């Protein structure tokens, strides 16, 4: 095998609305793509199934093998609503995450979370990220159904921001609560 026909680098292309246009998928496969990525954070199951079928049909017609990578979003736990649109969390201040279905509207001191089991998945010392990492909280203690944290990276926490749990959590090694205009899920 010569260097001209042995390529160590693989080419990955993300599929989406632009690659759905007639001829585009065939062009990227002909150009040498090895793997196509489908971002399951966007689109419907039907759109993804249709793309898989098209990749397989076009690759077969060109005599090529093309891998398909399914990019799945990890769990995102939402904080609930604030009495106001958002609150500004100050460095060093205490902030409580209330893991109860009847949690009060949030303010500068507390807010409810969508995943009521979060209190069982974190331990003191875990870091929780709000709004895709723009605000960071350190778990200080657990008090019943409440996670007591300290703000270690200040900022504005918008309503419905999300957060996966800390290092002891079975979901991930680090928590990340992102924001969404769709509200809690």
In sequence order, what DSSP letters do the residues of 96-113 get, joined into one string? EEE-STTPPPB-SSEEEB
Going from the C-alpha of 52 to that of each of 23, 62, 66, 155, 175, the distances in angstroms are 15, 15, 10, 41, 32
Q: What is the pLDDT of residues 100-145, one digit of tens each?
A: 999 999 999 999 998 999 999 999 999 998 887 889 999 999 999 9
Q: What is the pLDDT of residues 137-184, one digit of tens each?
A: 999 999 999 999 999 999 988 766 655 444 333 333 334 443 333 233
Chain mean pLDDT for the chain: 83
Structure confidence at residue 160 (pLDDT): 60
Q: Which of 150, 144, 153, 147 is nearest to 123 (CA)?
A: 147
Check: pTM over 0.85? Answer yes or no: no
């Amino acid at each position: 095998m010569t260097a001209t026909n042995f390529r160590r680098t693989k080419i990955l292309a993300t599929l989406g609305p632009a690659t759905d246009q007639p001829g585009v998928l065939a062009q990227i496969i002909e150009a040498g793509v090895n793997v196509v990525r489908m971002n399951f954070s966007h689109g419907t199951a039907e759109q993804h199934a249709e793309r898989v079928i098209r990749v397989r049909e076009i690759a077969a017609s060109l005599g090529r093998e093309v891998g398909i990578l399914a990019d799945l979003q990890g769990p995102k736990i939402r904080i609930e609503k604030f009495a106001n649109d958002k609150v500004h969390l100050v460095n060093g201040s205490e902030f409580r995450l209330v893991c109860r279905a009847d949690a009060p509207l949030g303010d500068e001191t507390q807010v409810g979370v969508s995943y009521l089991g979060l209190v069982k998945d974190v331990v003191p010392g875990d870091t929780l990220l709000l709004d895709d990492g723009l605000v960071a909280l350190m778990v200080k203690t657990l008090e019943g159904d409440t996670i007591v944290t300290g703000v270690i990276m200040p900022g504005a926490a918008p309503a419905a921001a999300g957060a996966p749990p800390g290092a002891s959590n079975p979901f991930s090694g680090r928590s990340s609560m992102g924001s969404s205009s769709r509200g809690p899920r």
